[in-house]
Amino acid sequence: MHDDSALVLPRIARFFRERLLPAVYRDRVPAQLTAWTAPGEPVPFAEAVRQEYTPITPGTAWGRPWGTVWFHVTGSVPAAWTDPATRPELVVDLGFSSAVPGFQAEGLAYTPGGVVVAAVEPMNMHVPLPDGAGSAVDLYVEGASNPDVGSGWTYSPSPLGDLLTAGSDPIYRLGGVDVALVDLPVWELTQDVWTLSGLVGELPADLPRRAEVLRALERAVDAVDPDDVSGTAELGRAELAGVLASPAYPSAHRVHAVGHAHIDSAWLWPVRETVRKIARTFANVLSLMDTDDEFVFAASSAQQYAWLKEHHPELFERVKARVAEGRFVPVGGMWVESDTNMPGGEALARQFVAGKRFFREELGVDPQEVWLPDSFGYSAALPQIIAAAGARWFLTQKISWNETNVMPHHTFRWEGIDGTRIFTHFPPVDTYNSQLSAQELARAQRQYAEKGRANTSLVPFGWGDGGGGPTREMLAAAARTRSLEGSPAVRMTSPAEFFATAEAEYPLPPVWSGELYLEFHRGTYTSQARTKRGNRRNEHLLREAELWAATAAVRTGAAYPADVLERCWHTVLLQQFHDILPGTSIAWVHQEAERNHARVSAELEEVIARSLAALVGQGDEEITANAGPYVRDGVPALGGATPSRPGGRATIEESGEGLVLANDAVRVVIDERGLFTSVRDLAADREVVAPGTTASLLQLHRDTPAKWDAWDIDETYRRHGRDLVDVDELTVLERGPERVSVRIVRKPGASTITQVVSLTAGSPAIDVVIDVDWHERQKLLKLAFPLDVHADRATSEIQFGHLHRPIHTNTSWDAARFETVAHRWVHVGEPDYGVAVANDSTYGHDVNRSTRSDGGTTTTVRLSLLRAPLFPDPTADQGEHRLAVSLRVGATIADAVAEGYRRNLPLRTVRGRAGIDPLVTVDHPAVVVEAVKLAEDGSGDVVVRLYEAHGGRATASIRADFAHSGVVETDLLETPLDQPVALSADGTRLALRPFRIVTLRFARGAGG
């Protein structure tokens, strides 16, 4: 037989496109339309329905960027529409483009009584009409004219991301709004043909099954009369029934399909639009559940459910009912799908504390799976935090974006820095926006790395990023591939059912140890520096506010401001969403984030001031408060007292070398260019700056990634850079004896950079405060410290510990790690000597090693201070910034830890009557108290969270200086553990393994 398949396939495709799809609606009747334009921000339904509506017709331009137009749709279902093989529905075309849902106009339909019916989106334009022939149609549609900021992903600068520059002209043209009659047999036939055509495209050409399906499709095309598609659709379906009924191979890959809609809490739209996206998506999900009993949908982020409860309480109650049935499944257990690289340890823990608390109290569930498909890499501290939050499983998709190396596993146990292992799945389908197409299912089967040992993977399906979720077409695809020869076998299940099945099938999977580093989006450690600074500052202010408020409550009976602290935590946790903290959102989002951080800072400063005032009482004595975990300048940790002055003195003098800053610990030479030509560790009698180099050197690089501007730093930036050595001002500011300082001003391009270098008596750390008035575009500003240290790895602080990373490029994995994240410090060293570089708001670093002509080794630590990407925010990072860095000589890891806290938790001076006695003391420097607070349940119990910070074993005594009836070890949610692992029986001793996190709860009684 001649092979004419190359001719048959385009015939089937054209028949599908030109005959079947147009015949899905047997008839249409235009609805009557009136409209009202909201003058500013969105308004609730109750307000919108009271407005005066005016007639509008299809073809009319509507909707300024980020505007809202309400449409009132009326009409009736024709009395003649009585055929049981049909169903009436409203079809609304707001002027949709070919772009995917979530990135353009969207709508939400309401009944006249204000009940949400369904969303209107490009792939989901229909709204159910519950009544039949002759019934009235009366609906309101809230139309959101959101612009497509991505606009084809050319990464071109766009004014649309800022309300002030987006313009006011309409950007959409209203399409048809019709009462339409769905031809159910035709619709079913389109789903049959779509599924089987996709299958033909994936099957090998020599497989009999492919020919069988192809010929069945050909017969179906022959059976359907193009002049009477409706009357002959069943004949076409009959030709396909046999091939659809042929079961999957017994060895076929098993897919657990989970309905999903990854809704970014902000990105190319503001947070307020996310609130509406959630309502639209969840309304569609509920509508699908009414028609498909097998459909299960998973959604993460307690914040999003909280928004739904606040803005759409009726819809929230409907969701809650489906949650109780187990079909609408809250997952993740976090407040938002946060970034995991940059949030501090306590903040990452609070993502789970806040998220799980909401899910437990509001929805009666405790998610066991952590769901982070789209964050930009995953901290090696996360496994322990997941386990401490009472979760068992972890899912991500983003590592499939690696641009260099392919992850070797899809199901594995992920081991964190403390040794905790979490069962992890990385879906081989390589998308969290699956349509359950044959191509996607075949990809999942083909790429699944565990073949021969296991055979089950998860596929999240539904339109995501901008929301939308699953469609009825996707459910039809799932039904047809439940057991279909040549296709993986698809079951719609919940994430928990998948994980339980996968873990039972593969109880001993391979282990991946350490961070899940994303070889992509490395610029997210640096973009939008003000958003990052606000996050870092508020993380530490929250620590202080809780510490001093808890101490005041215990010591003086002051009211504990739980509501204020919770509100502030929720705001900070929201700003840690994986497109806000990484700096990859539109201007509107980051302007709002900066305002939110400023407001939170002000609220927390008030809490701190009130608490300290209650603690020190009225008086004129100068009291210094130390919220850090280490004694500083004679001030005890976690308390306060009259400080002793630091020993010794600091001096500054001019010499032939330049300006010489010195104290008993270190001597620094600053030349006429404002650069460090020498940093001598006086205690070790050792030069720290590498020969032939200068330190505290600012470097400006071209920063033009191939794509994803705000996200990416491409390695090619290293080819284009210059040292900023020209100086406009070099001035001595302070001459001691307690402190000396020098100001250096540079004006590269359109920017002004001011560095103030200071040295304090007795301190081995040189402080550099950098003020930048930044007006560069597509530039990367780095600060370099070339050190005379022979290091083979860099140690970077992460949450509750640190991580060692090689600084060589022996393998492709090492080479791809050319920009890395660190929290408050990095450390490089030899076996008996090290140097720490600490910061107060910087996350991006690179560390490299070179060999000099004298045979020595130079290890260069560089901090990425600022960027200036043009997409999605063309004004990113423009304006004023303040950053602070310190170089500590002769530093051990323990010194680096202490330096990080010093840099981020400055001492506070207040006037009062008496010092502050710490509530808790620990006698081992490696055991660091990270949080002191009152319990979440309002009992008045004191909760203390601490961890082993040096990477070794530590045994410590812990003392609580307040009355309590006992202490227990708890999980992060403050629930006592069945089997404590760190606390001695008498509650006075702790035995910690490396990086172990321990939460202790001291019982004080209700309000005590």
Catalytically active residues are 374
Residue 873 in tokens? 């925010």
Give the CA dihedral 865, 869, 873, 879, nearest 10 degrees.
40
**Cβ neighbours for 902, distance < 8 A, ≥ 6 positions apart:** 628, 630, 632, 765, 838, 886
Residue 486 in tokens? 């040549």
Residue 720 in tokens? 């284009």
Q: Decide if 712 contacts 521 (C-beta within 8 A).
A: yes
Angle at 548 between CA 543 and CA 552, to 5 degrees: 150
Angle at 993 between CA 990 and CA 996, to 5 degrees: 85
**Amino acid identity for residue 929 in this structure:** V
Per the listing, tokens 């070398």 go with 657
Strand ranges of the sheet holding 639-641, from the earlier edge strand across to the other edge: 639-641, 621-626, 908-912
Answer positive or negative: Cα dihedral of 813, 817, 821, 825.
positive
The packing angle between helices 345-358 and 562-575, to 10°, is: 110
- What is the C-alpha to C-alpha distance for residues 638 and 629, in angstroms, rounded to an integer? 6
**Cβ neighbours for 556, distance < 8 A, ≥ 6 positions apart:** 614, 615
890: left (phi over 0), alpha (psi -120 to 50) or beta: left
Residue 505 in tokens? 């099938």
Q: Across-strand partners of 298?
A: 260, 329
**Cβ neighbours for 805, distance < 8 A, ≥ 6 positions apart:** 793, 794, 795, 796, 817, 820, 847
- What is the C-alpha to C-alpha distance for residues 1003 and 312, in angstroms, rounded to an integer? 39
The packing angle between helices 184-202 and 438-447, to 10°, is: 30
Q: How many CB atoms lie within 10 A of CB 33?
A: 21
Q: Across-strand partners of 741?
A: 734, 758
φ and ψ of 488, to 5 deg:
-55, 150
**Amino acid identity for residue 456 in this structure:** T
Angle at 217 between CA 214 and CA 220, to 5 degrees: 155
Give the CA dihedral 976, 981, 983, 986, nearest 10 degrees.
90
534: left (phi over 0), alpha (psi -120 to 50) or beta: alpha
Q: Decide if 283 contacts 108 (C-beta within 8 A).
A: yes
Integer angstrom CA distances of residue 108 from 261, 285, 405, 588: 16, 13, 42, 23
DSSP 184-234: HHHHHHHHHHHHHHHHHHHS-TT-HHHHHHHHHHHHHHHHS-TT-HHHHHH
- What is the C-alpha to C-alpha distance for residues 344 and 825, in angstroms, rounded to an integer? 12
Q: DSSP 3-state helix, strand, coil percentages of the chain (rounded to 5)?
A: 30, 30, 40
Answer positive or negative: Cα dihedral of 193, 198, 201, 206.
negative
Q: Decide if 713 contacts 695 (C-beta within 8 A).
A: no
- What is the C-alpha to C-alpha distance for residues 699 and 687, in angstroms, rounded to an integer? 23
